[in-house]
A and B are shown apart, each in its own frame.
Chain A
Amino acid sequence: MAEGILYLSDDTFDETIQGSDKPVLVDFWAEWCGPCKMIAPVLEEIASEQGEQLQIAKLNVDDNPDAARRFGVLSIPTLILFRNGEVEKRLVGAKGKGQLLQELSDVLA
């Protein structure tokens, strides 16, 4: 378990997203997904470098199918950015750190 990353479940999802004073980027992932493994270290880096502005969270879709279903996740990795509990942005597929930081530049300003 990496530092600075929240591990969500179907039970804690809403509470965490609604209760966060920072924007939350949720990584919908699963063990059997190759590209999910590729982006894991990138998210860990972002969590440790940008933790003050952005909360990184992970949701295992295999163990927690409800949240994935509710947000219409049909491909992983999908990253959904929540601000004040609302979906602000969704990113599908593996991306590099530079590209991700650019996509997140609004909340990292």
Chain B
Amino acid sequence: MPDDVREVIIIGSGPAGLTAAVYAARANLHPLMIEGVDAGGQLMLTTEVENYPGFPEGILGPDMMARFREQAERFGTEFVTANVSKVDLSARPFSVWVDDEEHRSRAVIVSTGARARMLGLESEAQLLGHGVSTCATCDGFFFRDQEIAVVGGGDSALEEALFLTKFATKVTLIHRRAELRASKIMQDRAFANERIEFLWDSVVEDVLGDQTLSGLRVRNVKTDAVSELPVTGMFVAIGHFPNTNLFDGQLDRDDEGYVLTKGLAGETPATATNIEGVFACGDCVDHVYRQAVTAAGMGCQAAIDTERWLEAKAHEERSA
């Protein structure tokens, strides 16, 4: 094979990808990580991470990802800070393009993660950055002494709502059901917080405001009653979808777009996809646990699966 073919390219730089990079680099696979424009992944948008073992005092999401990256770099991972524009996994070596630049490798680890789902309203898109926000940590500051809303009922929604009470005088949590999906500890904290109010069985039908957000039109799904909630900010935390469009027609995915791996069928190597030599890990695979620590664990599996597969291939080539 020509010299410009690498052992492994890792696409995506959240906990899964960076853990895979640490392991692959330590196994002398000289990984190239194409980390993406949203380098660091979803943790870059979070505040305090309190459930990652080894950080008893908690650690800020962006700080944690900086440490992950440092560790991967220390063992020789190379980084490209850009998005992958296309991939060709139909023949080995695989090709991964960043704009016009082609990178080739024997194996690929897919760790492209997931991103927050938006409501999908036209008015929501128009007011993005003008009251509609996708990042409570980044933008909470701008809503000091104001009344705002958070949409959603899971852990991330409550985490955002609690964080935003540091700035806002009132945070209304709008949830389409009458009970929360979030963990008990987060629910207890939210219910105990006087600045958080709950609007149950409700959905946002429209985001109001011309230049900046001035309110939300909310419909009660039980009674169909429509009301206006005067808020200046809206933070959406209604779930995620996987960043896997890049692999359309190449990797097998489920109906929602999550990459299917052997592990899901109870087989090994757990992170193997339908294409031999392509492994997948983290939130682009997992829509059940979706934790930094589970993603990191799966990233480790992907690196070990990759290393073993490359070794077996090299052995085959030598004996051929």
Contact between chains at A74 and B129 (CB < 8 Å): yes
Indicate if B255 sits at the interface (CB-CB under 8 A). no
**For the complex, what is the distance from the CA of A30 to the CA of B167, rounded to whole Å?**
16
A32 touches B37 (CB 8 A): no
* Interface residues on chain B, number (Cβ under 8 Å): 34
Quick one: which of A34, A72, A77, A78 contacts B45, CB cutoff 8 A?
A34
Nearest chain B residue, comparing its CB with the CB of A32: B137
With contacts A42-B81, A72-B212 taken as known, whether A36 is within 8 angstroms of B138 at the C-beta atoms is yes
User: What B residues does A62 contact at CB under 8 A?
Assistant: 141
* B129 touching A98, Cβ below 8 Å: no
Of the candidates B37, B60, B233, which one forms a contact with A99 in the assembled complex, judged by CB atoms under 8 Å apart? B37
- Give the residues in chain B near A93, CB-CB below 8 Å: 128-129, 134
Q: Does B211 count as interface, using CB distance less than 8 angstroms?
A: yes
Q: Are B37 and A95 touching (Cβ within 8 A)?
A: yes
- B21-79 residues with Cβ-Cβ distance < 8 A to A are 36-40, 43-46, 60-62, 65-66
User: How long is the Cα–Cα vector from A33 to B212 in the complex, in angstroms?
Assistant: 21
Contact pick for B138, options A72, A75, A90, A98, CB 8 Å = A75
Other-chain residue from A30, A35, A36, A72 in contact with B130 (beta carbon distance below 8 A): A72
Q: For the complex, is A97 an interface residue (Cβ under 8 Å from B)?
A: yes
- Chain A residues 10-42 with CB under 8 Å of chain B are 30, 32-38, 41-42
Chain A residue, CB-CB nearest to B213: A74
A90 smallest CB distance to B (angstroms):
8
CA distance A77 to B131 in the complex (A): 14
Q: Does A94 contact B (CB under 8 A)?
A: yes
Q: Which of A76, A78, A97, A99 has the most CB of B within 10 A?
A: A76
Query: Given A34-B135, A38-B38, A75-B128, A98–B82 Cβ distance below 8 Å?
Result: yes
User: Is B83 part of the contact surface with A, judged by Cβ < 8 Å?
Assistant: yes
A94 in contact with B38 (CB, 8 Å): yes
> Nearest chain-B residue to A75 (Cβ)?
B129
Cβ of B61 and Cβ of A34 under 8 Å apart?
yes
Report the minimum CB–CB distance from A27 to chain B (whole Å).
13
Cβ–Cβ contact A74 & B130, under 8 A: yes
Task: Say yes or no for B142: interface residue by CB 8 A criterion.
Answer: yes
Complex CA–CA separation, A95 to B37 (angstroms): 6
- Which residues of chain B have C-beta atoms less than 8 A from A97's C-beta? 81-82
Contacts of A78 in B (CB 8 A): 129
Looking at the assembled complex, report how far the CB atom of B243 sits from the nearest CB atom of chain A, in whole angstroms. 14
Q: Which residues of B contact A95 (CB under 8 A)?
A: 37
Report how far A35 CA is from B139 CA in the complex, Å: 11
Interface string of B123-153 (1 = CB under 8 A from A): 0000011110111011101110000000000
* Distance in Å: Cβ of B258 to nearest Cβ of chain A: 24
Q: Which 4 pairs from chain A and chain B are nearest by CB?
A: A34-B44, A92-B129, A96-B37, A34-B62
Residues of B within 8 A of A (CB): 36-40, 43-46, 60-62, 65-66, 81-83, 99, 128-131, 133-135, 137-139, 141-143, 211-212, 233
A residues near B (Cβ < 8 Å) are: 30, 32-38, 41-42, 61-62, 68, 72-78, 90, 92-99
Additional A-B contacts beyond A92-B129, A97-B81 (14; CB < 8 A): A30-B138, A30-B141, A33-B138, A34-B135, A34-B138, A72-B212, A74-B142, A74-B212, A74-B233, A75-B130, A76-B139, A93-B128, A93-B134, A98-B82
16 sample A-B contacts, Cβ–Cβ < 8 Å, listed by A number: A30-B141, A32-B138, A34-B40, A34-B44, A35-B38, A37-B44, A38-B37, A41-B81, A68-B142, A72-B211, A74-B131, A75-B138, A75-B139, A94-B37, A96-B81, A96-B83
